[in-house]
Amino acid sequence: MRILVVEDQQKIAEFIRRGLEEHGFRVDVCRTGEDGFERACREPYDAMVLDIMLPGRDGLSVLRELRGRRIATPVILLTARDGLEERVEGLNLGADDYLAKPFFVEELAARLNALLRRASGTPPSQLKVADLTLDLITREVRRGGSKIELTAREFDLLAYLMRSPGRVYTRTQINEHVWDTHFDTGTNVVDVAIARIRKKVDEGAQVKLIETIRGVGYRIRKPGDPS
């Protein structure tokens, strides 16, 4: 699962990043509320860990604006205060949970997993689109009961697409998320990987799930979408 952490204190941010990565999350960190807000608007995240006390735009104003724009990414607020009033305000603004500092990263990871279970209605380790299933823990992929062998990079790319069926991802977004590099227009690494996955996933299947959106990018088709 991909998590955005917005925390201005470098030591705390690094503590959270390392701890969540050890629990299998992919983590991006922003140090200001403004940067966190722009990142959350621009990129899809499974959840957000948002400190209330931030320089410039604070966490509550970030949350208020995100919910005002109908961005429903689950949010856990971090607070160093014990006051009930601030926590209640955060929950009323649309936060899904809160955690008081100091905290154990194991508890934060558990709360994130609980949020993701509630948001998806399925175990957070399982992704499913039509008869295609992907297990994030065992890294097993099946279509219609038949096991599909993927390389590590192919698996990460397929999981990225399956998190949001119907959403179109550009080559730049895919490259930055799966390869963790800025897109180089002189390469076709994304197209090659998609072609390999499509052959393994869609070949012989009546319903083709991986779609090319000409001039834009790629997506996994939602069940029931027209061809």
The rounded mean pLDDT for the chain is: 86
CATH 3.20.20.140 corresponds to the domain 126-220: no
pLDDT digits (tens, 9 = 90+) for 92-145: 888 888 888 888 888 998 889 888 777 665 555 678 888 999 987 788 999 988
| pLDDT tier for residue 44 given thresholds of 50, 70 and 90 | confident
CA distance 47 to 39: 12
* Structure token digits, residue 20: 């969540």
CA distance 219 to 174: 10
Q: Is the bond into 102 cis (omega within 30 degrees of 0)?
A: yes
Average pLDDT over residues 47-58: 90
CATH code, 2-120 = 3.40.50.2300
Core vs surface per residue 123-135: b (16+ CB within 10 A) or e: ebeebbbbebbbe
* Secondary structure E strands in the chain: 2-6, 26-30, 47-51, 75-79, 97-100, 126-129, 132-135, 141-143, 146-148, 169-170, 210-213, 217-220
Domain ranges of the chain: 2-120, 126-220
Q: In Å, how far are 75, 96, 210, 215 from 5, measured between CA atoms?
A: 10, 15, 31, 32
| pLDDT tier for residue 16 given thresholds of 50, 70 and 90 | very high
User: What is the CB neighbour count within 10 angstroms for residue 12?
Assistant: 17
